A and B are shown apart, each in its own frame.
Chain A
Amino acid sequence: MDDRVVLRVGAKILIPFILLFALYVQFHGDYGPGGGFQAGVIFAAAFILYALVYGLENAQRVLPTWVTHTCSAVGVMIYAGTGVVALLKGGAFLDYGALLHDAHHAQHWGIFSVEFGVLVTVFGVMVSIFYAFAGRGRVES
């Protein structure tokens, strides 16, 4: 196990910062490069790093497979849900102006909620696909 110590310690130190950076990218997507897709990928990368260093079983104990499958679907629902809420409030589909009374705040919250939906979906998708590939044993005769 001696040669794995560097990897384990390095991963342990880095993973919280990767998660924090993903959240930074998500929320600062309005003011600089960033947004839902990049943040979702970086968030997933933290969990994939954990799975690579500590093993797939440990990673699936931390983040079970059913959670990632659910996240993939819930993100799309959040995105479409924002549009449906705008419909129910009297505007067009995905018309953020109908969400709140103040047009400027409405745009801000509309963009926030759709980017959150994108974050959740991209995170769920990337980790699900990784689990599917990594969990497939090499079938040897």
Chain B
Amino acid sequence: MDAVIDIALLAFLGITALAILRLRNLFAVVMLSGIYSLLCALLYTTLDAVDVAFTEAAVGAGISTVLLLAALSLVGHEERKPVRRPVLPLFVVLVTGGMLVYGTSDMPPFGQPDNPAHLHVAPRYVEESGHEVGPPNIVTSVLASYRGYDTMGETTVIFTAVVGVLLLLHRGKGTRRPGSPKRAPDTGADESEAARGDDEAHG
């Protein structure tokens, strides 16, 4: 039964990815990327990674979708039709895909308990984390205690992201100040002003 769910979810993921590739309406693309994240969360649950599924559903389907929609409202909804045939990208993708498939043929079979990934430090975490650290959730005890330094680095990475976004977007030319009219006043000469005339056309 698990195998059927696995195969069905992976097939849906493939269809969604192809639809993201083909669609030119960016609003639909963003919605499909949210669906893609939710399908991945389902897949992670069947693969026993429940913490990851939770995070993927919250972050991927929640925050990513909101940020993409916020950016779309500032940037425009339609993708332009591609002008030339993408022969070189297709070739690169096929060669890379072929090499990866050739590489995965050497990988250990899926799901066997004596795979190398389960042999070295993982049994120690599974067996000892109960008395050494305490919480029943082994992922939390590894994340917060055994590998706590990495988690501090990860927290710093998100902080760096907010610093980057604020440097780029805080109080800039287009910012609406509370109480001011909706059109932001121009603060100076801008050579791309003429080019902006034609993004008035909404999809």
Contact residues of A with B, CB < 8 Å?
25, 29-35, 37-38, 41-42, 44-45, 48, 57, 60, 69, 72-73, 75-76, 79-80, 83, 93-94, 96, 104, 107-108, 110-111, 114-115, 117-118, 121-122, 124-126, 128-130, 132-141
- Total count of chain B residues near the partner, CB < 8 A: 54
Q: Once the chains are docked, how many angstroms separate the CA of A33 from the CA of B50? A: 6
B70 sits at the interface (CB 8 A): yes
- Give the tally of cross-chain contacts (CB within 8 A): 158
Q: Once the chains are docked, how many angstroms separate the CA of A141 from the CA of B140? A: 51
The answer to whether B183 touches A140 (Cβ under 8 A) is yes
Would you list the 4 A-B pairs with minimal beta carbon distance, nearest first? A30-B135, A133-B70, A137-B176, A33-B50
A30, A34, A45, A129: which has the most chain B beta carbons within 10 Å?
A: A129
B115 sits at the interface (CB 8 A): no
Q: Once the chains are docked, how many angstroms separate the CA of A35 from the CA of B62? A: 17
The answer to whether B135 touches A118 (Cβ under 8 A) is no
In the complex, what residues of A have CB within 8 A of residue B98's CB?
A: none
Contact residues of B with A, CB < 8 Å?
50-51, 53-55, 58-59, 62-63, 66-67, 70-71, 73-74, 132-137, 139-141, 143-145, 148-149, 151-152, 155-156, 158-159, 161-162, 165-166, 169-170, 172-176, 178, 182-184, 193, 196-197, 200
| Of B144, B158, B166, the contact of A115 (CB 8 Å cutoff) | B144
Give 6 new A-B contacts, CB below 8 A, not counting A35-B140, A38-B51, A69-B166: A25-B54, A34-B137, A72-B159, A76-B155, A132-B165, A133-B67
B62, B132, B162, B182: which has the most chain A beta carbons within 10 Å?
A: B162
* Prevailing SS type, chain B contact patch: helix
| Of A35, A94, A129, A140, the contact of B67 (CB 8 Å cutoff) | A129
B151 to chain A, nearest CB (A): 7
A128 to chain B, nearest CB (A): 5
The answer to whether A48 touches B137 (Cβ under 8 A) is no
The answer to whether B74 touches A35 (Cβ under 8 A) is no
